[in-house]
Amino acid sequence: MKSLFRRIVAFVLVLCTLALVACANNGEGENGGTTGSGEADNTVWMNIVEGGLSEYCIVVPLGRTEIFTQAYKLATAIKGATGVMLQVKQDTYAAQDKEILVGITSREVAGDYGDDIATPDDFVVAAVGSKVLLYGSTDDAVTAAVDYVISEYVDTASDSIFKVPEDMKHLVLSNKEYITITDGSKSDYIISVQSSDGEGALKLQSAIEKLTGAKLAISTGNDASEKEIVIGSELRTEALAVQELCTSAFGGKMKAVGKKLFIVGGCKEALGFMVEHVAENLGAYIFKGNLMIAVGDEYSKTFGDELAEPFLESINFKLSGVKYLSSSTEVSRVYTPDGTESAWYYSHHPFMTYFKGTYYIFYSSSKRNEDCLGQRIMMATSTDYKNWTVKPLVDSIQGENYLETLTCFGVYVYEGTLTVYVMTYEYASIEKESDGVTDRRPLEENAIRRNRETLYLQTTDGQNWSELKSLGGYYGGNLSPVRMGNLLIWAGYGSLSYTEDLSGTSGWKFVRLKLALGVEEPNVITESGLYQMADGTIVIFSRTNDEKVLTAASFDGGYTWTDMYESNFNDYSAKFELGTLPDGRYYFLGNISTGRNELVLMTSENGVDFNKCYYLGNRAYTQQKQGLYKGGDYGYPTSYFDDEYMYVVYSCGKEAVETLRIKLTAIEVK
C-alpha cells in the first residue's frame, strides 16, 4: 500500500510540474522581436535528459574558443539541474541524431535559419527534428542564445528532467543600429591614417579584402569623409574622445561612432598592436559575407606584455670594441680623510654639476660606517677643477630619539636655481661599536627605518641657501632628476617618481615597479637607472644583486609603466647610471665586477645593443679605516656634461671622493 501511495503522489507531482512549466512558457515575446510558438498545456516535449540519462551531446564549430566556452557553460548548467554532464564535441566529429548545436556548425540543419537572422546580434533557439539549435553568427549572439536556454529551460528543470518543446522556435532580434562597411565586394568606406601608421593601414586593408573581397582605399590626407575607418587620434577630434577611454598607455580601443569606426591606442606602439589585432580578428564582425559593426560597440585590449617583453629582453651588453682610456682622463681628488681620529671616514652617493662659474659636488658623509647615525651632506666647490673647498651643507640633525641619517639624493639646476635633494630617516633602534660605547647603526638585517622623507634646499647664487623644505613624502633618490619630454623623472630603488612641475619642488608622484608574471623574486630590487629613446620610449633598469638586472618600460613618456622583466644585462651588485650622450648615443656608466674595481662606459647607437666599451679607470684605492659596508674603488658613479667634457664623480672605498673628466672626442662624440 505504501508503495502504491508513493507512486500516486509522484504522478500527481509530475502533472503539476508540467502544468506550471507550460504556463510559464505560454505566450513568450522576445526583446521587441517575433514571438515564440505560444505553447499551451498540450505542448509536446522533447526530453534531453531523463532519469539521470541522456543520448544528447553538445556540438560546437571548430576553432571558436568563446563558443566552446559557452557550450561548457550550458553543459555545466544542465549538470547542475539534472546531474548529467553532456559531452561537448567539435563539429568535425560524425553527426548523430540527438545533438544540441551551438553556433554555426557544419551540420546542414543549421543553415535552415540563416534567412531569419538580419543582424550579427540576432539569434534563433529552435527544435529541429531531434536536434536543438542555438544559432547565432557572432560570439555575442551565441552567448545570448545560451543564456536564454539556461534561463528559460535549464533553470526550470526538475526531477532530473531537462526538456524543450518539440515545436520550439524563438527568434530574438537585436534593436541595435549597425554600420555596414562592406556590401558584397564593394565599399564606400576609406581608411584614414597618418603616413607613419601606413603599415597598419595596409594590414587592415588586406584583412578586409581577404574576408569580403572589398578593397578599401587608404587616405593619408586630413579631409574627413562621412564613411571612414580612422586609425589613430591625430586626424579627427572624435578620435580623441575614444582615446580617452583607454585605461592604460598600453591599451587599444576600437569603437563605432555614427558612421565611422575609430581604432586608437594609448601610445604609438599600442596603436600599432591594436590595428594589427583588429586586422587579425575581423572575422568576428563578418556577417553574411559583410563587415558589420554595431554603433556604440567598443572593443578593448591591453598590450603591456606584447609591447614590453620582447623589446626589453632584446636589450643587451656585448663587451666588444673595448678602448682603454684611463690614460686620457684627468683625475681630481675632491676629499680624502686626513688620518686623524676626528676625520670622517665614510663618503658616498656623490653628484656633480656646474653652476654660475663653479663646479659643485655633493655627497653623503659619516664618521666611519655606511648610512650611520648623524650622516650629513657635504658640499665641495672648485672654480678650476683642481682645488676643492669642502664643508658641510647640511650638518647632522637630531631626530626623535637618535641622530637622523641624511643621504644625498641628487642635484638639479633649473632657471637659475640650484636644488639639492636630501633623504632623511631615523633608525628605530641602534647598536654599539666594539668599544661598547660608540653608537652605530644596526646591521641591515636588524635595521628598521622610521620617518623616511625627501627634503630639498636651494640657492640662486651658490652662497646663500634656503632652509630644508619637505617634498611631502618619499620620492626618487637614486639619481638626479632628468627632464624627459613634459616630465621630470627621478629614478629610485626599483621605483621612480615623476612630476610635471619642472622646478622639481612639487607635484611628485611615486611609482613602484612590479614584477611581471613568472619573474622570480630576486635578492633585492634596488637602485635604478633610465634613458629615453628617440621615439619617446623610456627604459628603466633596476639592480637586484642577483644574476640579472630587471627592466621595465614606459611608452607614454613616463606616466605609466610595464611590469619588470629579467633583462640580458648582468648584475654586478653595484649602482649604475644610464643616459644619453650629447651626440644622441645611449650610455651605461658603472662597474662590470662585483668588487667595483673599474669604471666603464658602454654605448649604444640604437638603445638596444650596448656594444662599445670604454674603460675610464682601474686604479686601486687603499682604504684608511674599515667600516660597515665599505669598499670598492669606483663607487656609485654619476656624470655631468658640458660642451667639451664628460665628468664622472665617484667614491673611493666609500671613503674618499674623486672625479675624472674626459674629452668628448675621446669617447667619439663629434
pLDDT of amino acid 517: 87
CATH number of the domain bearing residue 26 = 3.30.379.10
Instruction: Give the closest residue to 462 by CA, choosing from 564, 391, 375, 536.
Output: 391
C-alpha cell at 570: 648582468
Asked whether residue 120 is domain-assigned, the answer is yes
pLDDT tens readout for residues 500-524: 999 999 999 999 999 998 999 999 9
pLDDT of amino acid 65: 83
Confidence check: pLDDT of 4 > 80: no
Q: Is the same domain home to 59 and 110? A: yes
Share of the chain above pLDDT 70, in %: 94
Using CB atoms within 10 A of its CB, is residue 565 exposed (0-12), middle (13-18) or buried (19+)?
Answer: buried
DSSP-derived secondary structure for 181-203: --BTTB---EEE--GGGHHHHHH
Q: Is the same domain home to 549 and 565? A: yes
Asked whether residue 409 is domain-assigned, the answer is yes
Taking only Cα atoms into account, the Rg of the chain, rounded to an integer number of angstroms, comes to 35
Q: Is the same domain home to 492 and 587? A: yes
Q: Is the same domain home to 154 and 286? A: no
Q: Is the same domain home to 538 and 655? A: yes
Q: Are 417 and 446 in contact (CB under 8 A)?
A: no
CA atoms within 13 A of residue 536's CA, in its CB half-sphere: 13
pLDDT tens readout for residues 64-97: 888 999 999 999 999 999 999 999 999 999 999 9
Q: Is the same domain home to 288 and 401? A: no
Confidence check: pLDDT of 318 > 90: no
pLDDT of amino acid 21: 34
Asked whether residue 128 is domain-assigned, the answer is yes
Residue numbers of the domain that contains 227: 178-302
Confidence check: pLDDT of 22 > 50: no
Which H or E run includes 457?
strand 449-459
Q: Is the same domain home to 17 and 66? A: yes
pLDDT tens readout for residues 437-468: 889 999 999 999 999 999 999 999 999 999 99
Q: Is the same domain home to 85 and 227? A: no
**Structural domains in the chain (count):** 3
* Mean pLDDT for the stretch of residues 550-556: 93
pLDDT of amino acid 248: 79
Last residue of a domain, one of 157, 172, 187: 172
CATH number of the domain bearing residue 384 = 2.120.10.10
Q: Alpha helix locations (H) across 225-303?
A: 237-243, 268-280
pLDDT of amino acid 12: 36
| 319 bridge partner residues | none
Lowest mean pLDDT among 156-165, 253-262, 390-399, 552-561: 156-165
Last residue of a domain, one of 122, 138, 172: 172
Last residue of a domain, one of 172, 190, 209: 172
Asked whether residue 211 is domain-assigned, the answer is yes
Q: Is the same domain home to 537 and 448? A: yes
DSSP letter at 336?
A: -
Q: Is the same domain home to 428 and 333? A: yes
Asked whether residue 607 is domain-assigned, the answer is yes
Asked whether residue 374 is domain-assigned, the answer is yes
Confidence check: pLDDT of 25 > 50: no
| Dihedral pair phi/psi, residue 566, rounded to 5° | -70, 130
Q: Is the same domain home to 95 and 70? A: yes
Q: Is the same domain home to 212 and 80? A: no
| Dihedral pair phi/psi, residue 279, rounded to 5° | -60, -40
Confidence check: pLDDT of 38 > 70: no
Asked whether residue 461 is domain-assigned, the answer is yes
pLDDT of amino acid 2: 36
pLDDT tens readout for residues 587-598: 999 999 999 999
Confidence check: pLDDT of 3 > 50: no
Asked whether residue 569 is domain-assigned, the answer is yes
